[in-house]
Amino acid sequence: MAKIGVALSGGGYRATMWGIGALIYLADVGRHREVVAISSVSGGSVANGVVAHETDYRDGPGTEFADRVRPLIRHCAHTGLFFWGPSTNAYVRSLFVLGGAAAAVTLTGVVVAAVDGVRLLSGLLLVAGLLLSAGALLFFERRSAVVDTALARELFNRDGVATGLRDVRRSVDHVFCATELQSGDHFYLSPAFTYGYRFGTGGPGDLALSTAVQVSACLPGAFAVRRLAAARHYAAAGPNGSAAGPNGGDPAATAAELVLTDGGVYDNMADQWLTALADRARRADRPPAQYEVDEIVVVNASAGMTWRPLPRSRLPLVGELAALLRIKSVMYDVTTSHRRNTLVRWSERPAPEGAPVSALVHIAQSPYQVADAYAAAGDRWPERATRAKEVLDALGDDPRSRAAWQDLARRSSGTPTVLRKLGADTTTDLLFHAYTLAACNLHVLLGHPLPPTLRDRQYFADLVGRRAEP
């Protein structure tokens, strides 16, 4: 049996459903029994967390896996979480009310001062406006904690009590990838350990599962950074780098807190946990994990940037902010693009002795794309060429089918990366596309089984909860 590592990446509930679709395929064909680790960033971490919470994926029910994650599927389709979502509506409304009150009181104070001069009334209004503004800013800073609480309430609790990260330790290692901003390095949270290059190996402590998920999905700008006391994960007041990590004199050895944000800042593909397992085992005094992987399956919902005009860049201040946000997106996209290209190159040549082989399930792809590339490569990849022809036969090698799948790939990659509800049809499309693409790509590249009959779209529409339009 192979030892498979799965990486789930991409933003928002688009990535959550994309990851679930691929995991349903692996469970359908029995390859879930070979999965030893699932690593994740951003929206992929919501899927990773729910899988850990609801089932032991490796030893679990196989073809019944979809039923275990049905509540998550319906939550993403019909309910949503943030901006808007029932669990966070009160927070968002309160924030707008507080911000509006601060602006109104401040403006009133300015008007009164302009008419009557700076007197008692105008002074009181200006002070009140300043206090309300400060309160609104402090309330705005709580948006990460609010999402954390909402995740616990909606997805990660037992009988109303938030589930602890260490309480979902399974036969599969569920690894939530974050970025530690003081060191500018990765930081991994798992039910079995915490680990950072400079911090070394620690434990999950009393951290909630919802917090690990939110930290991994803490998109910069949209959410505030999270500060976690180092003592809850390491025995000393700060982590002992000389004992646990490779850098005994590093400032991280005396750090009192971890300053964490989205794992995609450091690794937007969530694959580095898997690709660097062997190096980590050699380097760390106490390796956080003892397993290796033979296959790495990257399930990526980051589609890459497309042409988007930037007219707001002409506006003073607003243009500066718009440009900075676009620059951030470009930097994310460039690193992800390089990682995707590396994974594709790995899959296109025989793996060195002892090195894992890899396959990519990329949201912008049609299931014809990889099959087409290998169908005519019988001289170099005879086994892949044979499997590619099997895929083309299963899909139906005709212009109408090709056009329909290309259109679905376009719609999937254009789905917004949001935490609000996606709607029934969009959710159905993402699941159907991810499942089919995983089945086709992994069959061609890794020799995973191709189901005798691929799941049709209606199967996923039924999971979502209503009959979707054809």
Confidence grade of residue 204 (pLDDT, cut at 50, 70, 90): very high
Answer yes or no: do 106 and 165 share one domain.
yes
Q: How many domains does the chain have?
A: 2
Lowest mean pLDDT among 20-29, 227-236, 318-327: 318-327
Residue 179 has pLDDT above 80, yes or no: yes
Both tokens of residue 313?
């860049």
Answer yes or no: do 399 and 333 share one domain.
no
Residue 237 has pLDDT above 60, yes or no: no
149-170, pLDDT tens digit by residue? Answer: 999 999 999 999 999 999 999 9
By C-alpha distance, which of 11, 16, 27 is closest to 442? 27
268-281, pLDDT tens digit by residue? Answer: 889 999 999 988 88
Domain closes at, from 338, 362, 386: 362
**Burial class of 289 by CB neighbour count within 10 A (0 to 12, 13 to 18, 19+):** buried
361-413, pLDDT tens digit by residue? Answer: 999 999 999 999 999 888 888 999 999 999 999 999 999 999 999 999 999 99
Answer yes or no: do 176 and 322 share one domain.
yes
- Predicted pLDDT of residue 239: 40
Answer yes or no: do 121 and 266 share one domain.
yes
Both tokens of residue 199?
């911090």
Does a structural domain hold residue 22?
yes
Lowest mean pLDDT among 115-119, 335-339, 381-385: 335-339
Answer yes or no: do 318 and 458 share one domain.
no
Answer yes or no: do 344 and 371 share one domain.
no
Confidence grade of residue 347 (pLDDT, cut at 50, 70, 90): low
4-47, pLDDT tens digit by residue? Answer: 999 999 999 999 999 999 999 999 999 999 999 999 999 999 99
CB 371 within 8 A of CB 392: yes
CB 204 within 8 A of CB 166: yes
Percent of the chain, pLDDT > 70? Answer: 89
Answer yes or no: do 373 and 341 share one domain.
no
Residue 242 has pLDDT above 70, yes or no: no
Confidence grade of residue 240 (pLDDT, cut at 50, 70, 90): very low
Does a structural domain hold residue 56?
yes
Confidence grade of residue 438 (pLDDT, cut at 50, 70, 90): very high
Does a structural domain hold residue 181?
yes
Dihedral angle sign, alpha carbons of residues 40, 164, 139, 184 = negative
The residue among 60 and 180 whose pLDDT is bigger is: 180
Does a structural domain hold residue 457?
yes
Does a structural domain hold residue 131?
yes
Does a structural domain hold residue 16?
yes
0.75 exceeded by the pTM?
A: yes
Domain closes at, from 362, 384, 401: 362
Residue 147 has pLDDT above 90, yes or no: yes
Dihedral angle sign, alpha carbons of residues 124, 126, 131, 135 = positive
Answer yes or no: do 83 and 148 share one domain.
yes
Answer yes or no: do 49 and 88 share one domain.
yes
- Phi and psi at residue 308, to the nearest 5°: -140, 115
- 101-138 per-residue burial string, b: 16 or more CB within 10 A, e: under 16: bbeebbebbeebbeeeeeeeebeebbebbeebbeebee
By C-alpha distance, which of 347, 359, 379 is closest to 437? 359
- Predicted pLDDT of residue 158: 96
The residue among 252 and 428 whose pLDDT is bigger is: 428
Answer yes or no: do 300 and 380 share one domain.
no
Does a structural domain hold residue 418?
no
Q: Considering the chain, what is the average pLDDT of its residues?
A: 89
Question: What are the helix (H) ranges across 141-276?
Answer: 143-154, 209-216, 241-244, 272-275
Q: Residue 412's Cα: distance from chain center in Å? A: 16
Answer yes or no: do 395 and 357 share one domain.
no
Does a structural domain hold residue 117?
yes
Residues of the domain holding 271: 1-362
CATH number of residue 223's parent domain:
3.40.1090
- Predicted pLDDT of residue 406: 97
Answer yes or no: do 427 and 303 share one domain.
no
Mean pLDDT, residues 130-144 taken together = 95
Both tokens of residue 103?
């602006």
Element holding 457 (H helix, E strand) = helix 457-464
By C-alpha distance, which of 193, 191, 232, 229 is closest to 209? 191
- Predicted pLDDT of residue 221: 82
Angle, CA of 450, 453 and 454, to the nearest 5°: 70
